[in-house]
């Protein structure tokens, strides 16, 4: 079972931390409500420590945290925050399309570059989706690319430039990195890093049309996706914000 922590601006009776089971998106969560208050940071850490203990007693190993929650309070007690990295990679094509539209880049004339350390299923899905939307596509993978590009030309009628040069990568309108680049991208280049360790490069939000605001937290969406309660194609990307 996943855990879910939420802030509250009011106490429930005299208690500042309460727990209950709740169904969210068709999945059972152990929900802990923490009174946020306006006290010292140390008091907030104590409350989050109590929240973590309640989650551990419920057998929770992973938790969806609200913005500003001290992760160390939960990690210290063996509870890992849910990461949205897997979901980011799953919806990489949608993130790309939204980012290009946000920057006024027309897909009909755009060049999109995809780099990865292997031709994974995620990379194949992303490239296949982008081929239907963008005019030019560059692909850089260490192996397996030739057979894949031939298949794409045969089945989709599209031509993918394999193993582009560094100069060609720099000229792309947007770069998707499923693995760290050997050489950092040029300054000012539009880049979506989609690998562990680069999660803070950008933030994003998404929602399932018709669902409540509670279900728009990306970590929660990632948890629902992991257990099969959410199909990525049902998601609608709402924002992509790059860190300064």
DSSP-assigned letter for residue 148: H
CATH of the domain at 119: 3.40.50.720
Q: What is the pLDDT of residue 3?
A: 97
Query: Does 86 reside within a domain?
Result: no
Query: Does 87 reside within a domain?
Result: no
Q: What average pLDDT does the segment 142-165 reach?
A: 92
Strand partners, 34: 7, 17
Higher pLDDT, 212 or 197: 197
171 in the same domain as 100? yes
Angle at 32 between CA 29 and CA 37, to 5 degrees: 150
Q: What average pLDDT does the segment 76-99 reach?
A: 96
pLDDT of residue 157 exceeding 90: no
212 in the same domain as 190? no
pLDDT band of 50, cuts 50, 70, 90: very high
For residues 92 and 100, is the Cβ–Cβ distance under 8 A?
no
pLDDT digits (tens, 9 = 90+) for 201-221: 999 999 887 665 554 589 999
169 in the same domain as 96? yes
213 in the same domain as 192? no
Count the neighbouring beta carbons within 10 Å of the beta carbon of residue 4. 25
Q: What is the pLDDT of residue 193?
A: 96
Query: Does 179 reside within a domain?
Result: yes
pLDDT band of 243, cuts 50, 70, 90: confident
Last residue of a domain, one of 30, 48, 81: 81
Nearby residues of 21 by Cβ (< 8 Å), 6 or more positions away: 28, 29, 30, 31
210 in the same domain as 193? no
Q: What is the pLDDT of residue 36?
A: 83
Q: Domain containing 110: what range?
A: 92-198
Query: Does 9 reside within a domain?
Result: yes
Share of the chain above pLDDT 70, in %: 96
Q: What average pLDDT does the segment 49-73 reach?
A: 95
194 in the same domain as 96? yes
Q: What average pLDDT does the segment 89-101 reach?
A: 96
205 in the same domain as 174? no
163 in the same domain as 103? yes
pTM of the model: 0.89
Share of the chain above pLDDT 90, in %: 76
Query: Does 131 reside within a domain?
Result: yes
pLDDT band of 187, cuts 50, 70, 90: confident
Count the neighbouring beta carbons within 10 Å of the beta carbon of residue 218. 21
67 in the same domain as 150? no
Query: Does 104 reside within a domain?
Result: yes
Greatest pairwise CA separation for the chain in angstroms:
68
Last residue of a domain, one of 22, 54, 81: 81
Burial category of 70 from C-beta neighbours within 10 Å (exposed 0-12, middle 13-18, buried 19 and up): middle
Q: What is the mean pLDDT of the chain?
A: 91
Token look-up 């728009």 returns: 216
Q: What is the pLDDT of residue 231?
A: 92
115 in the same domain as 208? no
Query: Does 205 reside within a domain?
Result: yes
230 in the same domain as 167? no
Query: Does 237 reside within a domain?
Result: yes
Last residue of a domain, one of 81, 116, 144: 81
Strands (E), the chain: 2-8, 17-24, 27-35, 62-64, 80-81, 111-115, 136-140, 161-162, 174-177, 191-193, 202-207, 236-242
194 in the same domain as 204? no
The total number of structural domains that make up the chain: 3
pLDDT of residue 8 exceeding 60: yes
Q: Which of 65, 125, 98, 81 is nearest to 235 (CA)?
A: 98
């Amino acid at each position: 079972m996943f855990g879910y922590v939420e802030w509250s601006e009011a106490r429930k009776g005299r208690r500042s931390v309460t727990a209950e089971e709740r169904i969210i998106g068709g999945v059972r969560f152990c929900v802990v409500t923490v009174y946020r208050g306006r006290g010292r940071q140390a008091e907030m850490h104590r409350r989050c420590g109590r929240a973590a203990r309640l989650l551990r007693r419920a057998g929770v190993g992973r938790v969806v945290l609200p913005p500003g929650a001290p992760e160390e309070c939960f990690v210290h007690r063996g509870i890992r925050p849910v990461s949205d990295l897997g979901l980011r990679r799953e919806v990489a094509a949608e993130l790309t399309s939204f980012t290009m539209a946000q920057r006024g880049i027309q897909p009909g004339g755009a060049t999109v570059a995809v780099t990865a350390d292997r031709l994974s299923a995620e990379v194949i899905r992303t490239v296949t989706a982008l081929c239907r939307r963008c005019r030019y596509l560059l692909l850089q993978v260490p192996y397996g690319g030739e057979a894949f590009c031939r298949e794409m030309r045969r089945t989709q009628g599209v031509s993918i430039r394999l193993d582009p040069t560094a100069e060609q990568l720099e000229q792309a309108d947007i770069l998707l990195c499923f693995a760290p680049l050997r050489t950092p991208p040029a300054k000012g280049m539009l880049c979506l890093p989609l690998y562990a360790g680069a999660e803070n490069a950008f933030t994003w939000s998404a929602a399932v049309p018709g669902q409540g605001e509670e279900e728009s937290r990306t970590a929660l969406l990632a948890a629902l996706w992991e257990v099969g309660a959410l199909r990525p194609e049902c998601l609608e990307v709402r924002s992509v914000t790059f860190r300064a």
